[in-house]
């Protein structure tokens, strides 16, 4: 049901002339993708500094909350740019991306990373008074930071693998994989 709905949405986006224009442009698509990748240095770069501080691996003499607060704004600027360019990349190739197993895993990991960040922030605000000056924060904070790094690493690799066609709908795949990738027509064609 959801697969059909998503495909319908993707086909509608695909029918718009702007989507085709970006897709078929000589340089625009490449520049959007370049911006998307380069902004990794802003968003993920800032996140690296914050999470490494929470792991006790950088800025041991600066309070953890200071690092988190000072880098929050540049990190969010990076995130917004990634979100906008990411949406444009999806908009330029909506059908194939919707039916990409990697893209689907990426979205799930994004949501998981978002939830983790939200919980981490709450945990930090509730308890940072007691460990803010410690060079190495307590274990539960370190676990949250490690989880954050692992989830974002997952987002990066699944983002990169969208470009590979290993599990595209036109390949011979088991029913489960067709379902997971949302290959609606291929599922119906199976005996």
Partner 1 sequence: MDLYPFFDWLDTSLLADISKAYGGVFAVVQMFHLLGISMLGGMVLVGDLRLLNIVMRDIPSEVVIENTHKWFNVALVIIVISGIFMSSAVALKLYYNTMFWAKMASLAAGVVFVYAIRRPLLKFDHATIKPTTLRMLAITSILIWFTVAASGRWIGFS
Give min distance, CB of 187 to partner 1, in A.
25
Q: Is residue 129 a contact partner of residue 83, using CB atoms and an 8 Å limit?
A: no
Instruction: Report in angstroms how near the CB of residue 118 gets to partner 1 at its nearest.
Output: 21
Distance separating alpha carbons of residues 22 and 35, to the nearest angstrom: 14
Q: Which is nearer to partner 1, 62 or 184 (CB)?
A: 62
- Give whichever of 150 and 184 is closer to partner 1, judged by the CB atom: 150
Least gap, CB of 191 to partner 1 (angstroms): 30
Calpha distance 126→133 (Å, rounded) = 15
Binding site for partner 1 (CB under 8 A): 30, 33-34, 37-38, 40-49, 52, 57-59, 61-62, 66-67, 70-71, 73-74, 153, 156-157, 160-161, 164, 166
Beta carbon nearer to partner 1, 17 or 61: 61
Identify which of residues 48 and 90 has a Cβ nearer to partner 1 in the complex: 48
| Residue 181 contacts residue 167 (beta carbons within 8 Å) | yes
Radius of gyration over every alpha carbon of the chain, rounded to an integer in angstroms: 20
Q: How far is the CB of 15 from partner 1 (least distance, A)?
A: 27
DSSP state of 26: S
**Cα three-residue angle 145-124-130, rounded to 5 degrees:** 115
């Amino acid at each position: 049901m959801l697969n059909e709905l998503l495909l319908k949405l993707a086909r509608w986006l695909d029918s718009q002339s702007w989507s085709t224009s970006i897709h078929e442009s000589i340089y625009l698509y490449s520049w959007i993708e370049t911006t998307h990748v380069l902004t990794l240095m802003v968003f993920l770069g800032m996140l690296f500094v914050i999470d490494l501080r929470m792991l006790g691996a950088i800025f041991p003499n600066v309070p953890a909350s200071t690092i988190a607060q000072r880098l929050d704004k540049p990190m969010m600027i990076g995130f917004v740019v990634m979100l906008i360019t990411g949406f444009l990349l999806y908009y330029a190739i909506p059908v194939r991306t919707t039916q990409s197993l990697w893209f689907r895993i990426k979205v799930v990991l994004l949501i998981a990373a978002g939830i983790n960040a939200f919980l981490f922030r709450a945990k930090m605000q509730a308890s940072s008074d007691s460990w803010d000056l410690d060079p190495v924060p307590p274990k539960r904070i370190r676990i949250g930071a490690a989880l954050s790094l692992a989830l974002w690493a997952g987002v990066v690799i699944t983002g990169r693998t969208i470009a590979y066609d290993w599990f595209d709908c036109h390949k011979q795949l088991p029913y489960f994989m067709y379902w997971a990738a949302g290959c609606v027509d291929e599922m119906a064609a199976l005996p």
